[in-house]
Amino acid sequence: MAVAEQDTAIRTGTGTRIFIYGILLVFALFYLLPLFVMVANSLKPLAEITGGNMMALPESWTIEPWKQAWSSAQIGVEPTGLKPYFLNSILMVVPAVAISTILGALNGYVLTKWTFKGDTIIFGLLLFSCFIPFQIVLIPMASVLGKLGLAGSIPGLVLVHVVYGIGFSTLYFRNYYAVFPTELVRAAMIDGAGFFRIFWRIMLPVSGPITVVCVIWQFTNIWNDFLFGASFGGQSQPMTVALNNLVQSSTGVKEYNVHFAGAILAALPTLLVYIVAGRYFVRGLMAGSVKG
Amino acid sequence: MGFLDIQNVTKSYGQVEVLHQVDIAVEEGEFLVLVGPSGCGKSTLLNMIAGLETITSGEISIKGRVMNGVHPSKRNIAMVFQSYALYPNMSVAQNITFGMEMHNVPKEDQQTALQDVAKLLQIENLLDRKPGQLSGGQRQRVAMGRALVRDPDVFLFDEPLSNLDAKLRVDMRTEIKKLHEKLKTTIVYVTHDQIEAMTLSTRIAVMYQGYVQQLGTPKEIYDSPANVYVATFMGSPAMNVVPAKIAMQDGTPHALVKIHDGSEQMLRLEQNNLSEWDGKDILLGIRPESITDPDGADRNSSNIVSLTNRIGVTEPAGADTYVTMELGGKEIIARMRADANVQSGDIFQFAVNMEKAVAFDPATEMRIKP
């Protein structure tokens, strides 16, 4: 499982090493450049940017753009900053991730250990949601949300994301549990454990890696979603929509430093999730593909 | 009416019947081994007893209580799986007490039972470990401990030794036998290893292609196989089954078999109801240990016949020397004493213990009953 710890198959000379590292360094710089521009410009006064020096480090450092982006920038017509929208995003993403992951785990458990006639068809249908473009469902979804009285609310967004998330979370857990020995489930059945007890006591304790994968995947997808947020957010729009409204405003001065700060704020949670749980991500994705 | 009754049980998957009309009554304290090759239906039958597979038709009852449709945990059975199926996230102690916990046994009783079983199986020092930290033999013990602690009516073993290396397997086999003799529990044990079947069981059911070919004590199965399949499946090396022709002489039947040069030799048969087979072909079954050098022949046998034949190859195996030869157009194996003076290519006079020979009908491959 620990692919990173394997010995390399090919021994390379010093010259080749320098060449490889040199190329890697160039690529790393290339990819880090936008981040540098964002961070640097978010920490300088607007005058320095409009003065035409995008690439330079700030001459006078300031965190004022961050404060503005967080609490006082003009979002649409209200000068609220991104704070309330950030909160909206959190309120949406946490339950949506939790519910879709739990449902995915249960689905995976049923589809592998409590198989029934037609289970592969059900699984196939669930997988459809991984492939259907979001745009197709906008109108039917709007009508359903309207009938449920959830239009323009956070619970409505949670529902939408859960429905869309189940496909992927089921796929993850089903494949993970497919290689989980069925004899363990049978042993637990004979021991007298029921459906949920087997799930809770036997399956879940060994599902760590795949849960991390699922959570990261769902979190980034839901957090970064713009389309559903813009379409169904109503009065409780998520961070992504607010960021758009901040950056795309067509009136007044374009405060690039505030925009940069806002963009970083919007990306921060997903970055954090990756940094904290990233190594489990790779491990979890590899699980099942290699035995042991 | 047995303790565990399997009556007319069949199993079908869709249109395909994989288990046909199985009828076995197991007495209390009996050690029944289901033996057969892969795909013969033995594990399916065990799973049906456990309640892990549904019964298509027929009835399984334990202690007179019909078990069809009863949930596995309510059958008062315990099962040891091939892969041990220990819960990887729990310690050995938790693995063993999990079943009691699920049945709401009080904590103190759980602990007493745990200690008793741990002592019996000598795993007291392993109780805090996780299954991943145990060797194969230790895992095997824990798996048995988990079954024993339940004090079930019937123990079910699904090839429990097949994941162990050869030496450990022999040790554990002896331990299971000891355990059975000590606890006098009723056991149904599935294996594909005929030696395990012979050594452990009080009765064996030889299964093949979804049928119980023969049900009997190890001795019955070995000495009076019901058909050619059972004869060749049980025993290692397998029983030699060669074509022969019956010839009546002085009122006693003889088997005419071709030797290496195509000439025929007469072997007097013990069985006396073969007169109607006079002049007809049969299949003659002789176990390798019934063909020996004259000094190694069974002195208690009433019917030792000599057979002159050419030795093919000799295979010294330490305790015995195996000798191949051509008989009835087939290559067969004989079992000599280790120090028998045999060389390949020699013409040798063998002693055949015809008391143990069996005759089969070549058309049906069933034994011609004496």
B76-92 residue pLDDT tens: 888 888 888 888 888 88
User: Within 13 Å and on the Cβ side, how many CA atoms surround A152?
Assistant: 3
The Cα B85–Cα B242 span in angstroms is 44
In a domain, A6, yes or no: no
Cα angle value A90/A95/A99 (rounded, 5°): 150
Same domain, A44 and A178: no
Band (A8; pLDDT cuts 50, 70, 90): low
Tell which wins on pLDDT, B129 or A249. Answer: B129
Q: Is the pLDDT of residue A26 over 90?
A: yes
Q: Is the pLDDT of residue A291 over 60?
A: no
What are the structure tokens assigned to B182, written together?
């000590």
For residues B176-192, give the mean pLDDT: 89
In a domain, A132, yes or no: yes
Same domain, A49 and A91: no
Same domain, A180 and A58: no
The pLDDT of residue B1: 61
The tens digit of pLDDT for each residue in B28-60 reads: 889 999 998 888 888 889 989 988 888 888 888
The pLDDT of residue A289: 45
In a domain, A9, yes or no: no
Same domain, A42 and A167: no
The pLDDT of residue A287: 52
Task: Give the residue numbers spanning the domain of A37.
Answer: 14-62
Residues of B within 8 A of A177 (CB-CB) are none
Q: Is the pLDDT of residue B345 over 90?
A: no
Give me the number of domains chain A comprises. Answer: 2
Query: Considering only alpha carbons, which residue of chain B is nearest residue A206?
Result: B89
Cα torsion B161, B165, B169, B171 to 10°: value is: -140
Handedness of CA A212, A216, A219, A221 (dihedral sign): negative
In a domain, A4, yes or no: no
Same domain, A174 and A121: yes
**Are residues B78 and B150 in contact, defined by beta-carbon separation less than 8 angstroms?**
yes
Same domain, A104 and A191: yes
Band (A250; pLDDT cuts 50, 70, 90): low
Chain B interface includes A190 (CB < 8 A): yes
The Cα A250–Cα A241 span in angstroms is 15
Chain B interface includes A206 (CB < 8 A): yes
| Mean confidence (pLDDT) of chain B | 87
Same domain, A138 and A31: no
CB contact under 8 A, B102 and A192: yes
Predicted TM-score of the model (pTM): 0.76
Reported ipTM: 0.75
In a domain, A262, yes or no: yes
Same domain, A35 and A128: no
Same domain, A150 and A193: yes
Band (A292; pLDDT cuts 50, 70, 90): very low
Cα angle value B50/B52/B57 (rounded, 5°): 85
* CATH code of A282's domain: 1.10.3720.10
Q: How far is A183 from chain B (nearest CA, A)?
A: 6
CB contact under 8 A, A206 and B88: yes
What are the structure tokens assigned to B284, written together?
């003659």
For residues B346-370, give the mean pLDDT: 88
The pLDDT of residue A22: 93
Cβ-based neighbours of A272, under 8 Å, separated by 6 or more: none
Query: Considering only alpha carbons, which residue of chain B is nearest residue A191?
Result: B99
- Partners of B254 in beta bridges: B247, B268
Q: Is the pLDDT of residue B225 over 70?
A: yes
- Radius of gyration of chain A from Cα atoms? 24
The pLDDT of residue A285: 57
Would you call A129 exposed, middle or buried from its count of C-beta atoms within 10 A (0-12, 13-18, 19+)? middle
In chain B, the percentage of residues whose pLDDT exceeds 70 is 100
In a domain, A255, yes or no: yes
Same domain, A115 and A249: yes
In a domain, A165, yes or no: yes
Same domain, A140 and A172: yes
Sheet hosting strand B291-292, strand order edge to edge: B291-292, B347-353, B304-316, B320-327, B330-337
Same domain, A191 and A113: yes
b/e string for B339-350 if b means 16 or more Cβ within 10 A? ebebeeeeebeb
For residues B4-18, give the mean pLDDT: 88
Would you call B268 exposed, middle or buried from its count of C-beta atoms within 10 A (0-12, 13-18, 19+)? middle
The Cα A221–Cα B144 span in angstroms is 47
In a domain, A156, yes or no: yes
